[in-house]
Structure 1
């Protein structure tokens, strides 16, 4: 009997933000897979899961290149799928751990789809375990709700959608920009033009020891941000002033 593949969400960075269900699965599966870190360094998801792993478990780093070339990515997904499939075919359960939530801009979806194709005509068993995603973690660290009542929330991958920001700010109540580093100067200019810099906050490495929060962006046009940076823009004032911050 083939093993089960678990898409295991392990949260935004703090190892204690993993769910009880995810922790139980993580500690009992024989094989734990994760995106390999760059340059031999510990990967983000691996680092979150590491405190909960035992020496007896097989650690399976999978290479996912940080490129946008479709052919290169598909080849990487196929290689990763074959490595995972070797364990599943032997009846071993595999947990693929992913920072944040596996259904939220995650590599897992591509791996799972490739595995479905590679495992035909016998489908593999896949189980998804949800978790804490980065926008919710960042809002908690800032100490303010993302939404209230009927507020409209928009989440954008900033590196791809910076040009849409001005339009979105015209109708949304809260905007979250993911991985804002590469387009921060452009975003800053848009917010400056819209007089929204005083309603924007940047959180880097949310919930980790490296976390930093930048609240006053009016004088921070040239912030040096890491890859994992989130901006929250509260365009409308909360309806209840007492809930502006927790």
Structure 2
């Protein structure tokens, strides 16, 4: 009788294990978890200030309204760029400059790009963003969700045709790597970025990036992770945010 109980107990354990199916997450769910890990809704009501290369940036986000600022010097002139929900303006020495539409679009995209990368993955749940789970992939011995991101023409910005790939850690949901293709005036190309120097400031995650390129024209965007894993990419530059300050609004 004792052995019968042991057998029944063993069968119960086996059935419990069989019922534990792997959790299947969608691309939207993975991105949402990643945004939450990076600070989530704290970004929605914040002022973030930082230096990047020779320019100073300020991002104010307040319940859907945003002001993205870039300030720098050209010779003896002070340039102040302001991108909001509705417009872009440039001021030189405190005087507003009248710009052609093409220049407005170019400067606007330039300002937005730096602010966009500074707070990733925040922003990837916007309505104009399309996310597709490509599967899973291992890089440097760690397992990642691999997600393709594209943008709709409406609301997707000047560079809506760019394609991104994000590698999100399966354990902690951090974005450790990303890649993107671009088509600009100075050419077509791809970049692969490796996140490092992670730090949290007032609950918000910031990272720097090692920026890589490939000289092999035959490599596809979606294969850059495998190429990096085999040390097949060349370090092009460093993307480093300095003197970051965070102010939380409505606290």
**TM-score normalised according to structure 1 size:** 0.22
Structure with bigger gyration radius: 2
* Structure number having the greater helix percentage: 1
Of structures 1 and 2, the one with the larger relative CO (CA 8 A, separation 6+) is 1
